[in-house]
Amino acid sequence: MGHAAKRKCPQRGQITFGFRLVVVAAVPLLLLVVAGVFAAYLQIVHHGVYYFLAERGSHKDWQVPFERGAIQGRHGTPLALSVDVDTIKAEPRSIDDPLDTAHRLAEVLGLDRERLYGHLIRPAGEELIKDWLNPQERRLIEELGRSRELAIVCKHEDVLFVGRCDLYAYPSRIEDPRVLANQLSPILSLESEKLYEKLTIKAIYAGVKRRVSAKESRLVRAMRLKGVNYDHESGRFYPYKSLAGQLLGFVRYDSVGQSGVERLMEPKWRGPTESIRVFRNRPGDVSFLDFIPEIPDFVGHTAVLTIDEHIQREAERLLEETTVLSAAGSGLVAVMDVKTGELLAAAQMPRYNPNVAGRASLADRQALLVSDAFEPGSVMKTFTLAAALELGVVTMDDMLDLERRRYRVATTTFRDSRDAVNVWDAIKYSSNIGFIKLGELVGREQLHATLTAFGFGSPPGLGLAGEAAGTLHDLEEWYPVTFANITFGQGLAATPLQLVRAMAAIGNDGVLMRPLLVRELSDYTGKVVKRYEPRVERRVLSPETAALVQAGLARSLEAGGTGRPAASARFDLLGKTGTAHQPDDLEGGYKDWRSVFLGLAPAREPRIAVLVVINRSHTRASGGRVAGPLFRDISEWTLDYLGVAPDRGETSRIAFVRPGDGLHRLRAVGAHQDPDWPDPEDALVDLDESVTHTYVPDLTGMTMRRARDRAHRARLEIDLAGSGIAIMQYPAPGARVPVWSKVQVSFSADVAQASAAEP
């Protein structure tokens, strides 16, 4: 009988093969479970945080670029356009010789070489040194950072592992990068040389010059400089430079309107705004996730102004001549259609060019039409007369006792040059005491109500930034002397727009219109999307009273009247003068004079209201002598242009044609092209380099500024000699010369003085 085999039992402490197999299989499984739990923890508990971080790094809202709509004059002339321009930028890390690059760029772009060189070698603003610092490294770095005045900082805190962060340095703030690299090397376990390279690395991007001209862009591109690149952006361009500059306003570097019409219609001209979700990879390239936008959808509306570009141009030319001859500090002309309230012109001196708005002072950029509130003086007698006639307290033939030429009100004595006048002569000779007497007949309450009805003391509603309300005190502040002063235009303040609008109401049979600057808006296809119609504000006078006031103002231009210098040989005009001593803001007291003329043209069935203001004239002369002739010249030219038949003499029609893209003035008799009218071809000189020759314009008889502007428009340099008015030039007018040739022009102050001395 055999013996049964004995089974061997494992000794204590021995591990069987099966147990080993279980352990080997269980450990990875356990690790997998732990990883799964951890992944679930991250994706469920901290899902929102990590989703936000991931999306922030790879997605962004891309603002669809827009194009501002154009601004056009009444007849479609482009006054402001959006054009594609180049902005030159540099990548300093790619430039091998920054000194040579700075020298070549500065020469072409007109920049300071040393300053540009500093931009090209400027250290980076921020650079990643090391990511995922452990708590000990972070503690040491923070201690070092405090001693280095924040030249190195920890950023991007980890939400899960407390104490972890990324280390950044600001190379531009580091005084000694070598020392700092040696200090960081043992802490971060990085080589000192690699750290030094990071701490001295150049900036990724450096701006060179924004919105360069087409000529500058071509020259820079031709040099093919390494590390110099280009961005395309939309720039604002004003083809006619200073034409209506203050009224148009200007836009900021980011295409946001800052003043004038540019700011008034900002929501319309910016175009619709929309953000699109895009994907951004590590190099920064952008891809659309949803759709590519249709570009026409992001073009702003084109605005057509009520400004007549031809009247505006002529008003600016005549105003410049007057301000030069009268040695005035500034001036303004406003022309309004009396029937519609449309502003036809708003000329201002000194001019300024919105293309280079930064070169002009804040005062020169302001639109005086709406912002300059001043004591209008005797032109306000027009509205005192209107109140008296409307209330029926006086007739034009009634006599006014001037109290033997001296009239005392409270503690003030007013003087006059006559003993008595009727109402006709009170307006003709601009009698102060006569209008104080008219004001007393009207009464404080009624005069205040009349001036308020004409729009004084409240903004006219044109909508331009800085629109002032003027000053018309409450009745409680109308003390006896104040009341007396207000009857002839002192003790209150009005803006030019308020004055010309109120006079237009008298020419419109007593109906006050809301002032209008924008006629219509159209989309990029030319379809009109909104039309602004003339709007009646209220009736302020009866037609009969308005006609009587007009007749009284016509007397002012008769022989012996204060407005006689404004009388025309061809048209019957009407209006009122005003003269005031202006305060000296720097030294105190009174120094210069303000001359004003406010009137209507023609006297029969008025078409336009015209205001002329000449500020800080050094010559003491009445408003009739300084501002009156300018009122006459602008009125005559505008009436000829509008086709109004003269009361005397031959009709002188002015027509306009379009040779090519430019606008030139032609006269019916002896038709000729006016060389002063700016042509868009001239304004866009940098956009056309194919022209090699030009013709010399006639500069004689022009002021220095006007001659310089005209020569530049003809692509010529100018050499000025003397001062005053141009009397000689070389080469002669009409000569064909290479572009940017030099023209020598001699000026004479004697001619200017002789012209100023003429009556």
pLDDT tens column, 239-281: 888 899 999 998 887 677 888 888 888 876 655 555 556 555 5
Contact 219, 194 (CB under 8 A): no
Identify the pLDDT of residue 552: 96
Q: What is the pLDDT of residue 471?
A: 93
Q: How far apart are the first and last CA of the chain?
A: 161
State how far Cα 484 lies from the chain centre.
40
Alpha-carbon gap, residue 180 to 196, rounded angstroms: 8
Beta-carbon contacts of residue 587 (< 8 Å; ≥ 6 apart): none
Q: Which tens digit of pLDDT belongs to each residue from 423-453?
A: 999 999 999 999 999 999 999 999 999 999 9
If you search the block for the tokens 């003709």, which residue do you land on?
428
Tokens read off for 135: 């708590």
Q: Is the peptide bond before 543 cis (omega within 30 degrees of 0)?
A: no
Burial of 418 (0-12, 13-18, 19+ CB in 10 A): middle
| H or E element at residue 534 | none
Query: How far apart, in whole angstroms, are the C-alpha atoms of residue 34 and residue 553?
Result: 100
> What radius of gyration do the chain's Cα atoms show?
38
Taking a C-beta distance cutoff of 8 angstroms, is the pair 298, 272 a contact?
A: yes
Contact (Cβ atoms closer than 8 angstroms) between residue 61 and residue 280: no
**Residue 212's beta-bridge partner residues?**
86
Dihedrals φ, ψ of 653, to 5°? -80, 145
Secondary structure percentages of the chain, helix, strand, coil, to 5 = 40, 25, 35
For residue 652, the tally of other CB atoms under 10 A from its CB is 15
Joined together, the tokens standing for residue 177 give: 């990068």
Whole-number Å distance between alpha carbons of 385 and 59: 71
pLDDT given at position 213: 77
Q: In this structure, are strands 736-738 and 693-695 parallel, antiparallel, or unpaired?
A: antiparallel
Length of the chain: 759
Unique residue bearing structure tokens 């072409």: 108
Q: Look at residue 328 in the predicted model and tell me its pLDDT.
A: 83
Provide the token pair at 441: 């007949």
Q: Which pLDDT does position 466 carry in this prediction?
A: 87
Q: What are phi and psi of 632, to 5 degrees?
A: -60, -50
What is this structure's pTM? 0.70
Residue ranges in the chain modelled with pLDDT below 70: 1-15, 17, 19, 41-42, 45-66, 145-151, 155-164, 254, 268-299, 583-591, 618-623, 652-693, 713, 734, 749-759
- For the beta carbon of residue 385, count every other beta carbon within 10 angstroms: 27
From the number of C-beta atoms within 10 Å of its C-beta (0-12, 13-18, 19+), residue 671 rates as exposed
**Cα–chain center distance at 605:** 36
Q: Which of 201, 230, 225 is nearest to 121 (CA)?
A: 201
Q: Give which of 180, 188, 201, 197 is closest to 125, Cα–Cα.
A: 201
Q: 103 with 223: CB under 8 angstroms?
A: no
Distances in whole angstroms, Cα of residue 546 to Cα of each of 340, 510, 542, 598: 17, 5, 6, 15
Q: CB within 8 A of 339, min separation 6: which ones?
A: 508, 513, 534, 607
> What token pair was written down for 685?
């000189």
Return the closest-CA partner of residue 581 out of 624, 607, 619, 533. 619
